[in-house]
């Protein structure tokens, strides 16, 4: 059995040679939008249009990232050396959005997480959410991505953004509660025989496995107190999220809270 990420990853040929793929295009050598647009159109017409192959834009780099994930990172960072790339990065995405493959390109996940698409990657590493960053989010959502989409860890663009706009004391409390329930869950799932992906060994459906495990009362009793602590910590997280009307994070936690309630 393979997890969804590995199934998706096997659909894409991983190869180190970037010749004749989108990675060969160098966006930051252009000083105007018009020059970059002309060059990129010529590039796509030369290397993609004669024989359209998804590998042109789906190939990963050596670190397992897609081209759009790699380029958008510049716009997420607030250091001066990255700020110099902000404007060319938004140019690049606006030009790419004119091509038919753009939606497929930005939805592709990283090598080991098919759900971690370009918008989630952007929000995860965001240091400043200013005007140009908001324009990028608008462009990506306009082309089919959502701030509610989740990566393999259950975090969404909204979740990552929330941690950046929270009051410091709330952020610390949320982090403490999160650390508590994740630690307890890690300990809990170590005691359960989980169905795992044959390739990356990531659990395929760990909460289903937990429900099945707890049907045996002799197995439930020793972990019951920890289940209550996990449920309470997730409920405490939700209390904080309600202060910011973060309905997506609330719903995500509530779904798992309800699983624990059904077990207890």
Distance CA 191, CA 206 (A): 12
Question: What's residue 249's pLDDT?
Answer: 72
The tokens describing 216, both together, are 């045996």
Query: How far, in whole angstroms, is CA 222 from its chain's centroid?
Result: 35
Q: What pLDDT, on the 0 to 100 scale, is given for residue 4?
A: 59
Closest CA to 123 of 60, 165, 172, 177: 165
> What is the mean pLDDT, run by run of 10 residues, along the chain of 264 residues?
57 56 94 97 94 91 92 91 91 97 95 90 90 95 91 82 83 88 91 82 87 93 94 93 77 90 94
Q: pLDDT value at position 153?
A: 76
**Using CA atoms, how far apart are residues 219 and 261, in angstroms rounded to an integer?**
16
Q: Note the pLDDT of residue 200.
A: 64
Per-domain residue ranges for the chain? 4-153, 166-263
Q: What is the dihedral of CA 102, 32, 26, 78, to 10 degrees?
A: -80
- pLDDT, residue 97, reads 97
């Amino acid at each position: 059995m393979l997890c969804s990420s590995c199934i998706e990853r096997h659909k894409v040929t991983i190869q180190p040679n970037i010749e004749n793929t989108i990675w060969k295009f160098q966006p930051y050598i252009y000083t105007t939008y018009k020059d970059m647009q002309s060059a990129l159109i010529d590039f796509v017409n030369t290397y993609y249009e004669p024989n359209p192959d998804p590998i042109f834009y789906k190939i990963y780099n050596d670190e397992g990232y897609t081209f759009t994930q790699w380029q958008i990172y510049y716009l997420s960072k607030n250091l001066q050396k990255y700020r110099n790339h902000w404007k060319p990065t938004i140019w690049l995405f606006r030009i790419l959005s004119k091509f038919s493959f753009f939606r497929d390109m930005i939805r592709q996940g990283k090598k080991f997480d098919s759900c971690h698409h370009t918008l989630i990657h952007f929000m995860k590493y965001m240091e400043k959410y200013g005007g140009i960053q908001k324009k990028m989010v608008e462009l990506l959502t306009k082309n089919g991505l959502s701030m509610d989409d989740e990566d393999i860890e259950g975090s969404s663009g909204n979740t990552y953004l929330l941690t950046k706009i929270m009051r410091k004391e709330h952020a610390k409390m949320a982090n403490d509660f999160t650390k508590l329930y994740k630690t307890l869950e890690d300990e809990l799932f170590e005691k359960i025989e989980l169905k795992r992906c044959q390739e990356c060994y990531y659990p395929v459906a760990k909460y289903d496995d937990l429900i099945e495990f707890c049907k045996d009362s002799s197995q439930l009793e020793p972990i019951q107190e920890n289940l209550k602590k996990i449920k309470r910590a997730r409920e405490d997280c939700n209390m904080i999220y309600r202060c910011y009307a973060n309905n997506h994070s609330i719903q995500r936690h509530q779904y798992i809270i309800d699983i624990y309630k059904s077990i207890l």
